[in-house]
Structure 1
Amino acid sequence: MLSMEQVEEKLNFWNFPQQPWHLGQIGNFPIDLNPRTIVMTWVAMLLVIIFAVAATRNMDMRRPGKLQVAFESMYDFVRGLVNDNMDPVKGLSLLSIVLTYFIFILFSNLLGLVPTLNSPTADYNTTFALSLFTFVLIQFFGLKYKGLGYFKHFVKPVFVFLPINLVEELSKPVTLAFRLYGNIYAGEVLIAVLLGLFPLVGDIFGGFIASVIWLGFSIFVGGIQAFIFTMLSIAYVGQVVADEH
């Protein structure tokens, strides 16, 4: 049986540095740069661009291609989520953002299933960046449609609830980030555990067998987590732009 360190060394087919690069420190918080996550993030972004361009380059309403059908299905699915949670007119400006969310997170989640590659979303730095962007969207749309009156909800029902409401607001990006990171990271850890129990399969193209064994469930989890992150982002924005009655 192999240790986690030995398994990670076997899986490091591209010879990425095992330890992140330490750039400095702010107070008690280190500033680290993980080259593997950066490379995998750029790979995921490149795949999203290729997919979007290929799916929309020669669109045909009479005989749509498979990629066009897949892209349109994602678009209709996300548009339905937006329209169910907020006014369609208000949601129109949000639609392209959350559609990109869904496709990027889905591709990132599934990237770790490719032998020798890793999911960028298995790194909390990536998930926190995404969740902080959602937090910015919440504040932006709140101010856009309600002006300074948006901040009234922090002191409702009475002013003494201000600390509680602030904690609730700040907890949104934290829970979003850890939910996505935890589920994707757990899947990659489980693959590493399988490789540790059966060391020989780790030598076959970066753990190809273990990846295939876990493939079906990981695809399901990757899709569900992309949906949950996108859905919660839409719901949070929908709450702040909703008309008060």
Structure 2
Amino acid sequence: MHESPIIHLAGLDIDLSIVLMLVVTCAIVFLIARLATRNLSVENPGKMQNFLEWVVEFVQGLISSTMDLKKGKPFLSLGMTLIMFIFVGNMLGLPFGIVTEYHDASKAHIFGHELVTVTEKLHTEEAAHPGEEAEVGVAWWKSPTADPAVALGLAGLIFVMVHFLGLTRNTKGYLKHYFQPFWFFFPINLIEQFSKLLTHGMRLFGNIFAGEVLISVLVQLGSSGPIGTVASIPFLVIWQGFSIFVGSIQAFVFTILTFVYISQAIDTHEEH
């Protein structure tokens, strides 16, 4: 596996590849939305408008399957943003990757900042194999959702929003459900909430990361020689197709779970 381009900035470790890919993902989603709404027409809608209408209807279906549509309509934009952002993010690492090689720690700098992961790896390799030229590959292009910080960050935003909605829109029922069916279930119900946060984010990260790891292995197999190239091509094509399916499913699962959690928070029943 290649290293991530991490720099120290203001006491934080910043992964530049993740920053880059988040910007690219946001730009693509914004561009799709802009093209789909640029020339709206009732009589002769374009392909992009038809696509956007399909997304709206699809997300409305997700909302209506988890809560009353009247209560869920304010979350339509949230659902559309989530499913498009996660889908695009999941797909970005599939078609290709951008990797740069570093051999000299003194050149492992960008914007005046040291790429700490590269320099540390080079020093480790040089110490382990003195006299040999060390080489470190840095991956700049990958799916942002294949990083646990991004996946858990998205899940964390939903977690905060869900509990804020529960406290403000359904205060009595929301607080009461922590002590159901009996008061001593409070610790278990509290643990359940944090387990939702972890599973919501880690499910997305695990599936996308595993897919990219296998693609990387197949690419390395293809570069091992003529036999490896011939053997890897069919597996790479098959896995690329399967990864598109998995990426689509994970965007769907993350979005519908968001609506499930919102529904549980704002519409708590006695039996919940």
TM superposition score normalised by structure 1? 0.83
Between the aligned partners of 1:45 and 1:111, the Cα distance in structure 2 is 12
Tell me which residue corresponds to 1:99: 80
Structure 1 spans left out of the alignment, 5+ residues = 9-16, 26-30
Amino acid at match of 1:195: V
Amino acid at match of 1:20: I
Tell me which residue corresponds to 2:128: none
Q: Report whether the alignment pairs 1:112 with 2:93.
A: yes
Tell me which residue corresponds to 1:217: 242
Indicate conservation of the 8 Å contact 1:150/1:240, yes or no: yes
Task: State the secondary structure of the residue aligned to 1:61.
Answer: coil
1:227 deviates by 0.1
1:187 deviates by 0.6
1:212 deviates by 4.9
Q: CA-to-partner distance for each residue in 1:32-74, whole Å, 9 max, x for gaps? A: 3211011001000000000001001111122221111111111
Between the aligned partners of 1:33 and 1:173, the Cα distance in structure 2 is 23
Task: State the secondary structure of the residue aligned to 1:106.
Answer: helix
Amino acid at match of 1:105: I
1:215 deviates by 2.5
Indicate conservation of the 8 Å contact 2:152/2:198, yes or no: yes
Task: State the secondary structure of the residue aligned to 2:170.
Answer: helix
Between the aligned partners of 1:210 and 1:157, the Cα distance in structure 2 is 51
Which structure has more RCO (C-alpha within 8 Å, separation ≥ 6)? Answer: 1
Aligned length: 222
TM superposition score normalised by structure 2? 0.75
RMSD between superposed Cα atoms in Å: 2.4
Q: 1:58 aligns with which of 18, 39, 50?
A: 39
Tell me which residue corresponds to 2:267: 242
Indicate conservation of the 8 Å contact 1:74/1:99, yes or no: yes
Identical-residue share of aligned pairs (%): 41
Compare CA radii of gyration and give the structure with the larger one: 2
Structure 2 spans left out of the alignment, 5+ residues = 98-140
Q: Report whether the alignment pairs 1:171 with 2:195.
A: yes
Between the aligned partners of 1:172 and 1:34, the Cα distance in structure 2 is 26
